[in-house]
Amino acid sequence: MGFTEGWPDAPEPLPSPVVDNHCHLDTPIRGGVMIPVDEALDRAAAVGVTRTVQVGCDLEGSRWAVEVARQQPSVVAAVAMHPNDAARSETLEADLAEIDRLAADPVVRAVGETGLDYFRTGPEGRPQQQHSFRAHIEIAKRHDRTLVIHDRDAHDDVLAILDEVGVPDRVVMHCFSGDADFARRCLDRGAHLSFAGTVTFKNAEYLRDALRIAPRDRILVETDAPFLTPMPHRGEPNASFLVPHTVRFMAEVLDTDLAGLCRAIDANTDRAFGGHWPERFASVS
C-alpha cells in the first residue's frame, strides 16, 4: 500500500521548517502495515517538517531508532524503556544496561521516553517503574543527553523523582498533559513543553491554557505518531506530515505570526536536543 493511499490530503506547507520531536516510525498501523521510512520523511518534508526524533520504547525499538538515525541525516534517536514496558520487564537491570550502552552512540540525542504512567500501570508495578525512571535520569546525565519524559496521571511523582535525582540540563515534557499550574512547575525546572495533536481537541482547554503561559522559547511540537492525530483528522492514524495542523492551531491560540512560531519551534528543538542536526532538504518544496 502506498503511503498516500487512504490517508488525509497533505495540509498546506508551513512557511518555515519545524521538527517533529517525538514519533514512532516503527509502529505498525492499518492491520500491521509499517510506513516505509523514506516515504514518511519525504511526505513530512514536503509540508515543512524537515527533521524528526525517532523514539524507542523498548530494547528492540531503541536499537531500531539508532539504526535509522545512522542512515537518515534528518533523524536523531531517543532510547529508553517506556515506563509501562519497564514495569513489566523481568530483566530490567539488563535492559537498563543496554539502554546505557545505546545512549553513548553519537546519533542518540535523548534518553526517553521514560517517566511514569499510572494510567496503564497499577500500584503493584509502580516501584519498578519509578526505579527505571531514576535509572534513566542518571543515564541521561551520564551521557549528556536530553531527558524525554512520559507523564500520565503521575505529575507530582514525576517532579518529586526529578528533584530527588537531580534535573538534567535538558528536559522535554513529551505530549504535555497538564494544566497551566503544572506547566509552571515544569518550566521552573527548566523543561521544554512539547505539544501534540491533543492540544487541538475540543475538551483540552487546560492544555491551551498551559500553551498560553509557556515562554515562546520553551515550546515544542510533536506527533507521537501514529497516535494523537490532530483535528480535523482525530481518530485516523497520525504521521509527521500532519504536524502543520497542530502548529497552525497553536499559532491561533497564541494569536501570533505562524512563520515566527515555526522559527521559534525549530530553534527551541535544537536547544532542547543539544544542537542542530542536518536537514533532509535545504528548503520546503
Please indicate, yes or no, if residue 5 is contained in any of the structural domains. Answer: no
Computed from CA positions of residues 72, 74, 78, 84, in that sequence, does the dihedral angle turn out positive or negative? negative
What is the pTM (predicted TM-score) of this model?
0.94
CATH of the domain at 88: 3.20.20.140
Tell me what pLDDT residue 284 has. Answer: 34
Q: Is 136 annotated as a binding residue?
A: no
Tell me what pLDDT residue 279 has. Answer: 64
Tell me what pLDDT residue 282 has. Answer: 40
Tell me what pLDDT residue 285 has. Answer: 29
Please indicate, yes or no, if residue 12 is contained in any of the structural domains. Answer: no
pLDDT < 70 regions, the chain: 1-6, 30-33, 279-285
Tell me what pLDDT residue 252 has. Answer: 98
Please indicate, yes or no, if residue 236 is contained in any of the structural domains. Answer: yes
DSSP, collapsed to helix, strand or coil, labels residue 122 as: coil
Half-sphere exposure of 176 (CA within 13 A, CB side): 33
Q: Is 150 annotated as a binding residue?
A: yes
Q: Is 174 annotated as a binding residue?
A: yes
Tell me what pLDDT residue 275 has. Answer: 83
Please indicate, yes or no, if residue 280 is contained in any of the structural domains. Answer: no
Please indicate, yes or no, if residue 285 is contained in any of the structural domains. Answer: no
pLDDT tens for each residue of 18-77: 999 999 999 877 666 677 899 999 999 999 999 999 999 999 999 999 999 999 999 999
Q: Is 98 annotated as a binding residue?
A: no
Tell me what pLDDT residue 263 has. Answer: 98
Q: Is 138 annotated as a binding residue?
A: no
Q: Is 143 annotated as a binding residue?
A: no
| C-alpha cell belonging to residue 77 | 534517536
- Of 68, 130, 55, 69, nearest in space to 99 by CA: 55
Please indicate, yes or no, if residue 57 is contained in any of the structural domains. Answer: yes
Tally of structural domains, the chain: 1
